[in-house]
Amino acid sequence: MRFFRFLLLNIVALLFATSNLSAQDGGMWIPSLVKQLNIDDMQDMGLKLTADDLYSINNSSIKDAIVHFGGGCTAEMISNQGLMLTNHHCGYGKIQAHSTLENNYLKDGFWAMNKNEELSNPGLTATFIIKIEDVTNEILLGVNPEMTEVDRGTQISKNIVILNSIIKIEKYQNLKVKPFFNGNQYFAIITETYKDVRLVGAPPSMIGKFGSDTDNWIWPRHTGDFSLFRIYASTENRPAEYSEENIPYKPKHFLPISLDGVQEGDFTMVYGFPGRTQEYLPSVAIKQIKDVINPARIEIRIKALKIVDKEMRADEEINIQYASKYAGIANYWKKWIGENKGLEVSGAISKREKYEVELMENINSNPISKAKYGNLLSDFDKYYSEFEKYNLAHNYYSEIVYRNVEILKVSSVLYRLVNKYEEAGDKADEYFTTMKPEIDNYLKGFYKNYNSDVDKKVFTTLIQEYVEGIDKSFLPEYLVEEIDDYNNNYTKLSDKVFAKSALVNDTDMFMLLSKSPSSAIAKIKKDPAYKIGVSMIKAYNEKVKPKYSEINAEIKKLQRIYMAAQIEMMPNKKFYPDANSTLRITWGKVDGYEPKDGVYYYPKTYLDGIMEKYIPGDYEFHVPEKLRKIYEEKDFGIYAENGKIPVGFIGTNHTTGGNSGSPALDAHGNLIGLNFDRVWEGTMSDYNYDAKICRNIMVDVKYILFIIDKYGDAKYLLDEMKLVRPKTTLIVD
């Protein structure tokens, strides 16, 4: 395989490389390749471990302590009894699910005082990585550059089926094949997924989410963003569904915790599951994100957020109902603002353009590479410019129909039901009856956190945004007619919709669904909210989606070739694949940064900073009385450093969404912190890592221990952890 020759060349080349490229360029590296690619760089930076200590398939290694938490976050094992640490915001949905007005664990925190008090979380999973294996040769067998994309896809799917029958796994394991480098390389990943995961502890939100959305993506930071869970296993220590008979899982490895603290310049690494990055895009793609897509998404979300925020502040029940949804929407809204700022101040686009000029010179200097890659960038230009209006409409659609207006989301669920019902012919009633429990279940969950007054306001604002924001030719005729009928008065339109629709309250909705299948379906189809939702879905499916998918497929293909071209033309450069929710290692050092002229941020924060930010009664910056008292009395125990409690720190580790909850480790592999965020301007690292301004944000593990012990009075949890002092080499235990 050509690709592999180049990879080999890279490996040879790096043996001679002296400069520390990776620390400068960021990178999220595949643990199974660290031995070949990175270990020297890491040891040069200060790592005291071997590659086998980080990743081994024969012996236990640090990888065995790393968990993919619920598929979206990272967590880690911190005891030999399955105790698991992750972020508060990763456990948030589960903590919320256990919360009521009477037992408000979001507000007051939760500490199980023994294993019987732990709370089960149906649906929550914890996945370990058993083995990562390069299977590129097997997966690309029979694939050639002349093939159409469809044929290529078919061949790859066939090869995956064959591979699945060849690789032997245990009954309790899973195998997944994943593309890397835009489909230039493939890895098989064997996993074990545990399903009995119980909530052990969480600080109150005034600690776990301190600073909330004002401080989100911001340094200096003072959030105690952690929560504790425990994995349970069958009596054979294997994955099992929830059962009272299950026992605490005994991991192959768990992380010792350092009590020695971190200092500027210390080596750090972050081991976890970064979700998605796109580091190798052409400049036109970044430009489209920055100038077209991000501004639109930011605009839509701020409109929704303003409405929901006001309602949440006025009503405690709405506050609980919308807390998790609001946090999710606000999170990326703010991220995109920072991303655009960072792309701007770092001159990301002109840098990328310069890179492209050099790359093209290189490509064109040789007739063979010129023939293969000479048109790549002009093809990108052409496709991205065609793509723009479809891409924009696609984003409007997913933001408005699938995220921010809740009855539209319900419409889409009902639309699927109606469609399948109608397709089922004489089996229709049977289909309806089998589907009903599932739909009921979905709706029950939905209405628990639904308030129609809130949604009505969002609907009014965002329907207008939709009509005014996308290309006129993409609009649903039905919606346009309705709006004409109401003389462009969106409030009147939503008055009617919300007065007459059954979707906006659970009683009407469940009554409707309890009718005979045919009359239920007939009623759904006449429902005014449903009709608007469906008109939007159909218009998208007919007018946007086909072209969107078609161009997107071309762009994907170009990107695969462009990726191969970059690797081929730069044999001395080490490339790391974009994040794809697989296990990665990144490393760097504890380091401050200069966000703008004359401003320097130190890399550490302390409890004193929490007191500086304290605003009594504020929903973001209130400090619980007990914490204030501990502060006053300086009851800091063994957690203080020079009389101060450390809270957060930043480093040059290259992380992204999905790395939340990832352990920050010291040079010996001890836990020193918990990754939970990045600095605002640095969030552009998803497209353009720049060591000058990209920093990840971690909670200091000493703050976590301090809160568990002194605030939560759950010191017994510390007894099962292994506390160490690597700098002073004194084992505390």
Positions in the binding site for ligand ARG (CB under 6 A): 89, 209, 212-213, 216-217, 327, 330-331, 657, 660, 676-677
Closest approach of ligand GLU to the CB of residue 675, in Å = 7
Residues 678-717 binding ligand GLU (CB under 6 A) are 678
**H or E element that contains 359:** helix 348-364
Q: Is 477 exposed, middle or buried (0-12, 13-18, 19+ CB in 10 A)?
A: exposed
Report if residue 677 touches ligand GLU, rule: CB under 6 A. yes
**H or E element that contains 86:** strand 83-86
Closest approach of ligand ARG to the CB of residue 687, in Å = 16
Residue with tokens 């840098």: 351
Report if residue 277 touches ligand GLU, rule: CB under 6 A. no
Closest approach of ligand ARG to the CB of residue 327, in Å = 4
659 binds, among ligand GLU, ligand ARG, none (CB under 5 to 8 A by kind): ligand GLU
Q: By CB under 6 A, name the one of 659, 695, 705, 711 that touches ligand GLU.
A: 659
Q: By CB under 6 A, name the one of 55, 187, 676, 680 that touches ligand GLU.
A: 676
655 binds, among ligand ARG, ligand GLU, none (CB under 5 to 8 A by kind): ligand GLU
Closest approach of ligand GLU to the CB of residue 732, in Å = 30
In angstroms, rounded to a whole number, what is the distance separating the alpha carbons of residues 428 and 731? 68
Span near ligand GLU by CB under 6 A; candidates 207-215, 248-256, 654-662, 724-732: 654-662
Nearer to ligand GLU, 93 or 658 (CB): 658
Q: In this structure, are residues 557 and 145 in contact, taking their beta carbons and an 8 Å threshold?
A: no
User: Cα–Cα–Cα angle for 536, 475, 539, nearest 5°?
Assistant: 45
Report if residue 655 touches ligand GLU, rule: CB under 6 A. yes
Q: Identify whether 668 is a catalytic site residue.
A: no
In angstroms, rounded to a whole number, what is the distance separating the alpha carbons of residues 184 and 276? 17
Strands (E) located in 103-240? 110-111, 119-120, 126-134, 173-180, 185-194, 196-202, 227-233
330 binds, among ligand GLU, ligand ARG, none (CB under 5 to 8 A by kind): ligand ARG
Closest approach of ligand ARG to the CB of residue 94, in Å = 14
Within 8 A by CB and 6+ apart from 280, the residues are 182, 559, 562, 563, 566, 578
Q: By CB under 6 A, name the one of 220, 476, 658, 669 that touches ligand GLU.
A: 658
Span near ligand GLU by CB under 6 A; candidates 30-38, 143-151, 570-578, 672-680: 672-680
| Nearest alpha carbon to residue 577 among 276, 289, 339, 175 | 276
Catalytic residue among 56, 660, 662, 685: 660
Q: Identify whether 89 is a catalytic site residue.
A: yes
Nearer to ligand GLU, 288 or 696 (CB): 696
Report if residue 578 touches ligand GLU, rule: CB under 6 A. no
Closest approach of ligand GLU to the CB of residue 699, in Å = 12
In angstroms, rounded to a whole number, what is the distance separating the alpha carbons of residues 70 and 94? 10
Closest approach of ligand GLU to the CB of residue 281, in Å = 18
Residues 115-174 binding ligand GLU (CB under 6 A) are none
212 binds, among ligand ARG, ligand GLU, none (CB under 5 to 8 A by kind): ligand ARG
Report if residue 621 touches ligand GLU, rule: CB under 6 A. no
369 binds, among ligand GLU, ligand ARG, none (CB under 5 to 8 A by kind): none
**H or E element that contains 700:** strand 696-700
Q: In this structure, are residues 89 and 729 in contact, taking their beta carbons and an 8 Å threshold?
A: no
Nearer to ligand ARG, 22 or 321 (CB): 321
Which tokens in the block code for residue 419? 């469609």
In angstroms, rounded to a whole number, what is the distance separating the alpha carbons of residues 552 and 554? 5
Nearer to ligand GLU, 87 or 535 (CB): 87
Q: How many of the chain's residues bind ligand GLU (CB under 6 A)? A: 10
Coil, strand or helix at 506: helix
Coil, strand or helix at 129: strand
Q: Is 287 exposed, middle or buried (0-12, 13-18, 19+ CB in 10 A)?
A: middle
Catalytic residue among 68, 88, 89, 253: 89
In angstroms, rounded to a whole number, what is the distance separating the alpha carbons of residues 38 and 572? 14
Nearer to ligand ARG, 237 or 449 (CB): 449
Q: By CB under 6 A, name the one of 261, 282, 595, 657 that touches ligand GLU.
A: 657
Beta strand 257-258 with 723-725: parallel, antiparallel or unpaired? parallel
Count other Cβ atoms within 10 Å, centred on residue 13: 15
Report if residue 222 touches ligand GLU, rule: CB under 6 A. no
In angstroms, rounded to a whole number, what is the distance separating the alpha carbons of residues 651 and 125? 29
In angstroms, rounded to a whole number, what is the distance separating the alpha carbons of residues 706 and 725? 16
In angstroms, rounded to a whole number, what is the distance separating the alpha carbons of residues 465 and 459? 10
Cis peptide before 220 (omega within 30 of 0): yes
Residue nearest to ligand GLU (CB): 660
Catalytic residue among 64, 196, 213, 225: 225
Q: Identify whether 225 is a catalytic site residue.
A: yes
What single DSSP character describes residue 718? H
Closest approach of ligand ARG to the CB of residue 222, in Å = 13
Closest approach of ligand GLU to the CB of residue 197, in Å = 18
Report if residue 660 touches ligand GLU, rule: CB under 6 A. yes
In angstroms, rounded to a whole number, what is the distance separating the alpha carbons of residues 264 and 222? 18
Nearer to ligand ARG, 10 or 653 (CB): 653
Nearer to ligand ARG, 309 or 440 (CB): 309
CA distances from 236 to 40, 246, 681 (A): 39, 9, 48
| Nearest alpha carbon to residue 251 among 394, 430, 128 | 128
- Per CB under 6 A, residues contacting ligand GLU are 73, 655-660, 676-678
Annotated catalytic residues are 89, 225, 660
